[in-house]
């Protein structure tokens, strides 16, 4: 015989699982981002190329591809944008009507976007710039970091979610 579960208890369990998943993944991305940035700063001056990636530490005072890097107001503007993204992604993620599943494109995309934005926001607040270090060995592409990879992966998952919703 199945035991009836109280609706309040089920909601509490659902919220707890969702919060645990959110915090765990954000902490994982944050630690990985910090660790790789530390390693890249220790390897400066060395030509470290592995397969298609090279580690060449650099700084970015602007947004993606160093856009807006020459303006005095850029840092404050980008901090405000990042705070908006953090609040918006957390708000959408913790909506009651969104069902939590073990794997959901929307949930995972929001968490990755939140984590990447948080990592870059901390760099921008603490250092005044973003620490980038990954480049391609075969292509002259601007340097990026793991927080940027997390942001791009999050946006791609959100796009996949939206495409699947249209079908």
Determine the distance from the C-alpha atom of residue 23 to the mean position of all C-alpha atoms in its chain, rounded to a whole number.
13
Single out the residue of 115, 104, 107, 105 nearest to residue 148, CA to CA.
115
Contact 119, 147 (CB under 8 A): yes
**Rg for the chain (alpha carbons), in Å?**
19
Active-site residue set: 132, 148
14 contacts 100 by C-beta, under 8 angstroms: yes
Full DSSP string of 34-94: HHHHHHHHHTTTS-EEETTEEEEEEEESSSGGGTTTT-TTHHHHHHHHHHHHHHHHHHHHT
CB 97 within 8 A of CB 91: no
């Amino acid at each position: 015989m199945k035991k009836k579960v109280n609706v309040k208890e089920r909601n509490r369990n659902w919220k707890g699982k969702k919060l645990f998943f959110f915090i765990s993944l954000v902490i994982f991305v944050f630690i990985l981002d910090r660790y790789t940035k530390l390693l890249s700063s220790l390897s400066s001056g060395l030509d470290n190329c592995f397969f298609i990636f090279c580690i060449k530490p650099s700084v970015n005072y602007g947004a993606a591809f160093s856009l807006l890097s020459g303006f005095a107001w850029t840092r404050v503007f980008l901090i405000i944008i990042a705070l908006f993204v953090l609040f918006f992604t957390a708000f959408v993620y913790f909506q009651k009507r969104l069902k939590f599943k073990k794997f959901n494109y929307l949930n995972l995309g929001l968490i990755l976007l939140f984590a990447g934005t948080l990592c870059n926001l901390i760099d921008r607040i603490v250092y005044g710039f973003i620490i980038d270090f990954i480049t391609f060995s075969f292509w002259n592409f601007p340097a990026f970091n793991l927080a940027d990879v997390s942001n791009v992966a999050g946006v791609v998952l959100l796009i996949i979610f939206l495409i699947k919703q249209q079908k």
